[in-house]
Homo-oligomer: A and B are copies of this chain.
Amino acid sequence: MDTNSPSTPALRPPGRPIGRPREFEIEEALDKAIVVFSERGYHAASISELKEAMGLAAGSLYKAFKDKKAIFLASFDRYKQVRNALLESEIAKGENGRDKIFRMLRFYAEASEGETGRRGCLVVGTATELAIADADAAERVRLSHARSEALIESLLREGQADGTIAAGVDPPQTAKILLCIMQGMRVMGKTGADTGHAFLVAETAMKLLD
């Protein structure tokens, strides 16, 4: 006997919200916005450009997001989520601490080459363009850097524990310079002259683990 008959349909899922349903996926739209913000930066990315890239009218945009800054912050958060997921799955393939560090460096090197390199990193772009003027943006950049630094540090300790990284290496200090190198690769990638440049940097950086 089915007690939840048509008499109590209000307790079904959270149910579909009332009103006309949204005709686009927010995350798909944000993925398009990420490209625009990465290539053009925050200020040069106009609502017109975002509209066209995201395939939305102004009305729809402003019903989904409070204002331009909200679109940007949502794009930033989505960017971090996607990139972090990719990075973590790459690191997970590593066999030991040293290998994991190398995979992380290679991950950034690959992103710094070719078209994605020219497109740029949203974190680096936000740091340089918005950190000084917008507290919310600055806080997101700080959090991103802090988490990366903590991740690197833990991988360094893992490497020291499994014997693949020299005991003399100072994890906090080395984590700082490795993060610095990854950010630097993204800057160099914006005008990336020669291909393979970033991979050479990644390999050379491994010297810091000896």
Please list the residues of chain A having a beta carbon within 8 angstroms of any beta carbon in chain B.
39-41, 43-44, 118-120, 124-125, 127-129, 131-133, 138, 141-142, 145-146, 170, 173-174, 176-177, 179-188, 190-191, 193, 197, 200-201, 204-205, 207-208
Contacts and interface: CB of A to CB of B under 8 A. Distances in A.
Contact of A187 (B133, B146, B187): B187
A190 B125 contact: no
Nearest to A176: B201
A190 B132 contact: yes
Contact of A208 (B131, B191, B207): B207
**Closest A-B pairs by Cβ, 6 of them:** A184-B184, A180-B184, A43-B43, A183-B184, A183-B187, A127-B190
Nearest to A120: B128
A173 B200 contact: yes
A188 B177 contact: no
B44 A127 contact: no
By CB atoms of chain B within 10 A, which of A177, A179, A182 has the most?
Answer: A177
25 contacts: A39-B132, A41-B41, A41-B43, A43-B43, A44-B129, A118-B131, A118-B132, A119-B132, A120-B132, A125-B129, A127-B190, A128-B187, A132-B190, A145-B188, A176-B201, A177-B205, A180-B181, A180-B184, A180-B187, A180-B188, A181-B181, A183-B184, A184-B184, A186-B187, A207-B208
Contacts of A170: 204
A170 B197 CA distance: 14
Given A181-B177, A184-B183, A129 B129 contact: yes
B128 A190 contact: yes
Contact of A174 (B43, B119, B145, B204): B204
